[in-house]
Structure 1
């Protein structure tokens, strides 16, 4: 989302002010791959643990925790479904004013103690929500001083938009932590307070009197405590490889669909998501795209924007909503996480897995970009022989211009740092390595090994 301040940025500024600092929030989001051949793998360098992921996705996982009207289903892709409703509830959609009755059931995960006591946590989920169903995802935890958080809503989600309006929930705080769109964050990390343990809760909803059900295949969270840093240590190049990923420009959609944030710079996240969805051989059907103006090029990008749009955030940059969109396609998993280094990205590219990364920078900090941004998503598809980053950057004038090569050292720093100076000389925040990973439900052995190496499986 080059050149614009996002609502995520504004929210983070408020959080930073409450903590007595000057910072912004993490940046907003603005061909099928062949099976990878063997590529020699370098010995990994030891890295301090700053990120810990936990995802529930197996039949054993779904049979754990506390089920209230839900049932685990086995099969090639185990999941959780609504079995016997726990009760009925009336839900008033804040974006339409419509009140509707819903049957619901709940599942609460076991308490998880992450290896990294966290200053931030981001939940993500993979689910199918037929018309007449939707889900709510919540997080509750225990602080390092032994006190508990309330239940925070991390998202109300449906793949469509006819039953509820997909939404985050603002103004959630207990005076010690807050939820900023999609991110749980300790208000004052310098105090030493950390999230020491957490649970996730799923509430599955359906129209009363029906047998409809959402199916949830994966839910989890990335917990992190990335130290404040303006620069990161340089990594040594370890791979030369480029994946063949479709190229789409967000800028060919400027002014399209104002109800989904008007295209252009606001669509970096769904445009990037669509590139990787199609890399894995999936795409919306002709019927799915029938609503798009036939005069518009690349209608699937419009489709991705509509189906990632967060009606509270008023944009398409909600990180978990993008992951959930990608995972709505058959056989795809998707998570939001943080990576520790370009070496982690090389590990993924080696196995044939591209990544969507979030970064912010001034124009002069990234040679060849031609713009500065308070938050932008792009797709990393490979590395040159010199170790420079090959990216499909949707902030390009047209599809042909999307492939870019960025200098390794510059790109590494703008992605992994947590502090930076903006054009006014003010200290603001960086994303600290946030990325989306989309990958097959049945990864190859090489892909499984790579995902385990970066802490996702």
Structure 2
């Protein structure tokens, strides 16, 4: 569970989507087609647009300044000839160092969804002595342009820089809240209509070191402002065999990484899915963990997803980037539109990490309420209820939970809710992390494409 005053609440107070209506849901595979009316109902408006650059052609289409595209099993961009060097002070260590740098800037992507929010995500390898900076700039529906907003300073390790988001970014029309670009007053009708992403690759001067960026992109969205969501029709049952870890067995561990326990829902969930795909840290990589602690890989995930500005492990893109540091793994942050989307993924063997907030009475069997919590959806019962690995459990054995479909779908997809004080606060509107192998099966590829991820 996230800390009580999360930046999601801040976003919800600042952003009220102006478009009305609700997200549609497709009928499950094999279901009988409904009887058609004389005039077909209009399709629900599209609310989510994903664009990720990851192919050799993609990397050759951008603006390369000191970088080159590399082909092979996993195409990407690397430093070719640095543009120069810069003195950069890490705000979290106070250390000033010189870094050589080069940049890759994406073509401008016109979003199919004029957006109130955008979340970038990336997959990269950053050997010691290297790191990357990710930025977003776009065009508004009123014709104006944003500045370049920093979406993260990132490295897989923490010896060269401190992995961090950047606070206090805004232009009077939009702001960046940790990992999310958000229009300040969505009710005004202002939207982000197109955007570019820029990644700057850094290395120690005088070396041949280089980061490799394999995937870069963003999810842009305009989810309707709503307290309720329509119920989707249950599809076929399936449950995936995903490892189960409790965050609460780590209470008080590593205060420097937000003290374990309820603050570790995101890295605990991420670690479950990393291990589902047969990946994970080696014994040598876990040697730093206190040997008295159980499940040291959860501690490892917390350390290497920790955002030093946010002072927590719940930065969405940092969790996706962590998963992609493992062999041949891809990962993104996106939004889904219904439990039908999750069923499509689970049927193909892809679990998902979802973000939700709720009062204890709103989710039967949870036994707690939260202003923000990540859990892993691993399956569905024959009745369509959600099988979740919920890390907010007292033990690993208690992690598997079954939650009522309608309740769970509501707390995950809504964008507004009432908190325990009766105040209107935000919901996360279908946010999830997806991790999958670089070379998915044909069925997995089709499932990802069905939910807009390529």
TM-score, normalised relative to structure 1:
0.93
Distance 2:80 2:47 in 1: 38
User: How far 1:8 moved relative to its partner?
Assistant: 1.8
Give CA deviations for 1:249-284 in whole Å, capped at 9, x if unaligned: 000000000000000000000000000000000010
What residue is the counterpart of 2:275 in the other structure?
Answer: 278
Matching of residues 33-432 of structure 1 within 5 Å: 42=31, 47-432=44-429
Runs of 4+ in 1 over 4 A off after TM superposition: 39-47
1:455 aligns with 2:452: yes
User: How far 1:329 moved relative to its partner?
Assistant: 0.2
Partner-residue secondary structure (3-state), 1:359 = strand
User: How far 1:40 moved relative to its partner?
Assistant: 5.5
Distance 1:348 1:261 in 2: 32
In structure 1, stretches of 5+ residues that fail to align are: 22-38
User: How far 1:98 moved relative to its partner?
Assistant: 0.2
Contact 1:417 1:432 in 2 (8 A): yes
Q: Aligned in 2, Cα 1:408/1:20: closer, same or farther, shift over 3 Å?
A: closer
Distance 2:234 2:126 in 1: 42
Distance 1:44 1:208 in 2: 63
Partner-residue secondary structure (3-state), 2:101 = strand
User: How far 1:157 moved relative to its partner?
Assistant: 0.1
Q: Aligned in 2, Cα 1:310/1:397: closer, same or farther, shift over 3 Å?
A: same
Q: Aligned in 2, Cα 1:451/1:296: closer, same or farther, shift over 3 Å?
A: same
Distance 1:156 1:313 in 2: 12
In structure 2, stretches of 5+ residues that fail to align are: 18-27, 35-42
Contact 1:7 1:313 in 2 (8 A): no
What residue is the counterpart of 2:24 in the other structure?
Answer: none
User: How far 1:9 moved relative to its partner?
Assistant: 4.6
Q: Aligned in 2, Cα 1:388/1:20: closer, same or farther, shift over 3 Å?
A: closer
Distance 1:49 1:452 in 2: 15
Give CA deviations for 1:314-334 in whole Å, capped at 9, x if unaligned: 000000000000000011000
User: How far 1:48 moved relative to its partner?
Assistant: 2.9
Distance 2:357 2:432 in 1: 13
What residue is the counterpart of 2:40 in the other structure?
Answer: none
Q: Aligned in 2, Cα 1:88/1:41: closer, same or farther, shift over 3 Å?
A: farther
User: How far 1:7 moved relative to its partner?
Assistant: 3.9
Give CA deviations for 1:203-245 in whole Å, capped at 9, x if unaligned: 0000000000000000000000001000001111012000000
Distance 2:229 2:33 in 1: 17
User: How far 1:6 moved relative to its partner?
Assistant: 3.5
Distance 1:346 1:422 in 2: 29
Distance 2:395 2:221 in 1: 36
User: How far 1:76 moved relative to its partner?
Assistant: 1.1
Task: Give the aligned CA root-mean-square deviation in angstroms.
Answer: 1.6
Partner-residue secondary structure (3-state), 1:358 = strand
